[in-house]
Structure 1
Amino acid sequence: MQDVVLTLSETAQAAGFQLVHLAEVGSTNAEALARGAAGETQPTWVVADRQTAGKGRWGRSWTGFDGNLFATLLLTDPAPAARIAELCFVSALALDDALLTLAPDLESRFKVKWPNDALLDGAKVSGTLIEATTRGATTQVAIGIGVNVAHHPGDMPYPTQSLNGAGIAVDRDQVFAALSRSMVTALAIWRRGQGFNAIRAGWLARAHNLGGPMVAKSGDRRIEGVFVGLDAEGRLLLDTPDGREMITVGEVVPALAGTVH
C-alpha cells in the first residue's frame, strides 16, 4: 500500500479546522481539553500515533495498538448544553461515511450501536467518548474517536474487530483524512442541533438490530424489550411487556431472539 501522510482533508482545512499530530500522548481527549483550557478555540483535531492512558465509556482502557486511530476533535461552544450529547450520533455518521468512501462494500457490514459504538460484522470496531468542560460562558467539547484499524483487543467482554482483520485494506492516515472530511459535513447537517432530525434518521438507517430484541443496562436496572427507535432527544426506545421505556444513559446488547415478549 502506498504511504499516506497524516493530513487534514481540504474540506476540513477550508472550514478552519487544524491538526495537532503527536507521537505519543496519555489521552487525546485530555490533551485536547488541556489545549482548550490554555486558550485554543479553533476547531482542532488531536491525533496521536500511540495513546498510553486513553479511556472509553465507563472508564475502560483504550490504549496501545500502533496503527490504530486515536483522534479527538476539540470544539468550542458547538451547541446549547442540552444538545451536546447528540454529538455521539453526529460522529457515528461521520465515521460511517468516512469508511464507506474508502470501502463502499462495507455498507451492509457496518452498523452503529446506541449510543456511540460502531460494529463491523457485529463486532466493535470503533468507540466514541464525548467529554465537555465549561468555564464561564464557554463550553468546550472533546469528541474522542478510536478506530481499530490495524489491531483489536482480545480481552474485552464483547466481540471486537479491526478493519485490516476484516479484510479492509486501509491505514490510519487514510481513515483520518476521510473522517476529517466527513465530520465537517455531518456537523453542517447537524447545525448545532437544529438538524438533529436528519442526523437521527441517518443513524437509524444504520442502526444495529433495529426492530429486534434488546437488553439495556441502566444503573442497577436491566430492561428487556424490542428496539423500536430513538426519540427526538436521542433516547433509546424499547417496547417492553410493561410499556415503552426511554433509556437516557446505559449500555445495550442484543437479546436472544424469543426472550422478549
Structure 2
Amino acid sequence: MLALARSGVEEGVWLRAERQYGGRGRQGRAWASPAGNLYTSTLVRLRASDPQAATLALVTAVALEEVVRAYLPPRHSRERGNPASSFSVSAERQRDPRVRGEDGTGDQLQLKWPNDLLLDGAKLSGILLEGAGDAVVIGIGVNLAHHPTDLDRLATSLAAHGITPDPADFLDTLVAAFALWLARWRGEGLAPIRARWLDRAHAPGTALTARLPDGSATDGLFVGLDNDGALILRLADGMTRVIHAADVFLI
C-alpha cells in the first residue's frame, strides 16, 4: 500500500492479504500473520482542512470497535454516548450464533490508547499509521481466527470467544464504518471522534504504564485525552502528564 500511495492511487482503496510473511507492528516489531485473520490497509489523502494526521488512529479505532461490537452478543451493545453510525450487519447474520456469539462470551470490549482494541483485557487488534507524501497509510490487523501467545501482553481472537467471522465479510463492514467516521472527522473535526473513543475506552482512573520512546516508563491513572487526542495520565503526586507517543499497558 505504501508503494500505491506514492504512485498516486486515490483515497478509498483497500487491500486485504490472506496472510502475511513480513507483518509489522508498532516500532518495527514482527507480527505473526496466519491465514484466517484480517490483514488490511487503506490510505487517506490529507487535505489542508483535515485534523492532525495522527488522529486517524482514533478514527480507525472507533470504526473497528463498532464493527467488532456488531459481532458480539446484543447485550454488549451500548447506547450511551454518541449514537452508533448507520452501518449494520444483516438481520440474517445477526441471528447466526456463529456471528453473534450467543454463548455469552466477550464481556469486555474496550479501546486502549494509542491504537489497541481489547476483548476481556486481551489484545484483539492493532492499528499502524505510516506516512507517504500527502497520504497516510493505515494498516489494520484483527485476530479473527488465531492469536499469538508469545507477546509481552495477553492476546485473544474472536474465535477464542466462539465467533468466526469471514475475513472478507468482516472487511466489507469495516470499510463502511470507516467511511462514516472519516466523513465525521473531516466534516466535524476531532471532537466527535474523541468523544466516541472515550465512551468506548477503559474507565477514568484505570491504572496504566506508559513505556516512552526513550526507554523510560511512567505509571499513572487514566484521565482522558486532550483536545488533540494525546493521553493524559494523573501521576502519584497529583500532577497530570500529557503523553504523545508510548506503548501503554494496563496495570
Q: 1:149 aligns with which of 144, 147, 168?
A: 144
**Which consecutive aligned stretches of 4+ in structure 1 deviate over 4 angstroms post-superposition?**
78-82, 105-108
**Is 1:253 the counterpart of 2:249 in the alignment?**
yes
CA RMSD of aligned residues (A): 1.8
Aligned residue number for residue 207 of structure 1: 201
Aligned residue number for residue 173 of structure 1: 168
**Is 1:41 the counterpart of 2:10 in the alignment?**
yes
Identify the structure with the greater strand proportion: 1
In the superposition, relative to structure 1, how do residues 160 and 78 fare at CA in structure 2: closer, same or farther (>3 Å)? farther
Runs of at least 5 residues in structure 1 that lack an aligned partner in the other structure:
1-31, 256-261
Following the alignment from structure 1 to structure 2, what is the Cα–Cα distance between the partners of residues 168 and 112? 19
In the superposition, relative to structure 1, how do residues 126 and 105 fare at CA in structure 2: closer, same or farther (>3 Å)? farther
Cα deviation for residue 210 of structure 1 reads: 2.9
Amino acid at match of 2:247: E
**In 2, are the aligned partners of 1:132 and 1:140 still within 8 Å (CA)?**
yes
Following the alignment from structure 1 to structure 2, what is the Cα–Cα distance between the partners of residues 209 and 171? 31
In the superposition, relative to structure 1, how do residues 78 and 156 fare at CA in structure 2: closer, same or farther (>3 Å)? farther
Cα deviation for residue 148 of structure 1 reads: 0.3
Q: 1:64 aligns with which of 16, 33, 37?
A: 33
**Is 1:91 the counterpart of 2:60 in the alignment?**
yes
TM-score (norm 1): 0.79
- Paired residues, what number? 219
Following the alignment from structure 2 to structure 1, what is the Cα–Cα distance between the partners of residues 196 and 48? 20
**Is 1:158 the counterpart of 2:153 in the alignment?**
yes
Following the alignment from structure 1 to structure 2, what is the Cα–Cα distance between the partners of residues 123 and 79? 37
Amino acid at match of 1:39: G
Q: Which has the higher contact order (CA 8 A, sep 6+)?
A: 2
Q: Deviations over 1:171-207 (max 9, x none)?
A: 2122111101100111011116x42111111101111
Aligned residue number for residue 182 of structure 1: 177
Runs of at least 5 residues in structure 2 that lack an aligned partner in the other structure:
78-106
Aligned residue number for residue 5 of structure 1: none
In the superposition, relative to structure 1, how do residues 78 and 120 fare at CA in structure 2: closer, same or farther (>3 Å)? farther
Q: 1:74 aligns with which of 37, 43, 51?
A: 43
Cα deviation for residue 132 of structure 1 reads: 0.7
**In 2, are the aligned partners of 1:78 and 1:84 still within 8 Å (CA)?**
no
Q: Deviations over 1:65-88 (max 9, x none)?
A: 101000001122256686111011
Amino acid at match of 2:159: N
SS in 2 for 1:158: coil
